[in-house]
Amino acid sequence: MDDGWSALAAQWSELWAASAAPAHEALIGASEIRTGSRVLDVGCGSGEFLRTLGERGAVAAGIDPAPGMVARARTLAPLADIKIGEAERLPWPDATFDVVTAINALQFADDTINALTEFARVLAPGGCVAIANWAEGARNDLDVIEAAVAAGDGASDDDLVGDGDADDGDADDGDLLSDGDLRSAGGLEAVLGEAGFEVVAAGIVAVPWFAADDDTLVRAVLLGEDPSALRELAPIVLEAARGFRERGGYRLNNSYRYAVAKLPS
């Protein structure tokens, strides 16, 4: 899994990373990150959020299981403390951070509650966690294209993994995910409550994605596929995306859900 994402780190950063920028801004605002805030981004991927945090004056740290992603993140955010590792085993002392974030990452933890327990451990008193991930499929144009690809490729719902900029099994952002607990309305709030947090803010943020041409669209939706699969599935992608074509390329209107929570006093 990690090796696949390591090999695709540059392509991921090129094709998908910028689309999460509105979610980054939502989390920064909702968790009140400011100059001097100590922020850990779990599942930091190629490091775009860490770079933004540094530009805002935060003291940023990140962790990701894919060495290739970590290498790229260290290039984009050279002042951040970035490590290779898992959400359930964070290599920092207790009470190190003011904010712990996870953007399209929590759903890939082996044990969600254990991961959130680790987030709580490294939080300083009064700190908060800020989580964001894809909203349910009905709010994402991307899911329309992925459903067409799945049907054309003979995949069943059980074969499909998940959207996200964290590490999924296929190293593929585009795989359709049946709406799971974290994607659905109230899902983030529920799991945070189960882990002992009190939710202080939650919402939906638009994360539109643009592809300048057919080639960019196909490479992004089929990220990680081999050349033969690209040739076979490209016509399906383009046909499914016809309704999203506009002057200058394609626009997919997608959405993330987010929630910010604190531990009880």
The pTM of the full predicted model, rounded to 2 decimals, is 0.89
Q: Count CA atoms within 13 Å of residue 247 on its CB side.
A: 0
Whether the CB-CB separation of 174 and 149 falls below 8 Å is answered with yes
Residues 6+ apart with CB under 8 A from 245: none
- pLDDT tens-digit series, residues 200-235: 999 999 999 999 999 999 999 999 999 999 999 999
Per-residue tokens: 183: 């994607």
Give the pLDDT confidence score for residue 172 in this predicted structure: 36
pLDDT of res. 3 = 62
Helix (H) / strand (E) containing 53? helix 48-55
69-106 pLDDT per residue, tens? 999 999 999 999 999 999 999 999 999 999 999 999 99
Start-to-end CA distance of the chain, whole Å, equals: 39
Whether the pLDDT of residue 47 is over 80: the answer is: yes
Cβ atoms of residues 75 and 47 within 8 Å: yes
Give the pLDDT mean for 118-129.
97
Domain spans of the chain, in order of start: 2-262
Architecture of domain 2-262: 3-Layer(aba) Sandwich (3.40)
Cβ-contact 85, 105 below 8 angstroms: no
> Where do the H-state alpha helices sit in 77-207?
112-122, 141-152, 187-194
Q: How far apart are CA 144 and CA 8, in angstroms?
A: 24
pLDDT band at 179 (very low <50, low <70, confident <90, very high): low
- Segment 127-165, tens digit of pLDDT: 999 999 999 999 999 999 999 999 987 654 333 333 443
Q: Which residues, 6 or more positions from 232, have their beta carbon under 8 angstroms from its beta carbon?
A: none
Q: Which pLDDT tens digit goes with each residue over 62-77?
A: 999 999 999 999 999 9
The percent of residues above 70 in pLDDT, for the chain, comes to 88
Compute the mean pLDDT over every residue in the chain, rounded to the nearest whole number: 90
> With b meaning 16 or more CB within 10 Å and e meaning fewer, what string describes 103-128?
bbbbbbbeebeebbebbbebbeeebb
Q: Is 256 exposed, middle or buried (0-12, 13-18, 19+ CB in 10 A)?
A: buried
pLDDT at 175 over 70: no
- The predicted model gives 27-50 an average pLDDT of 97
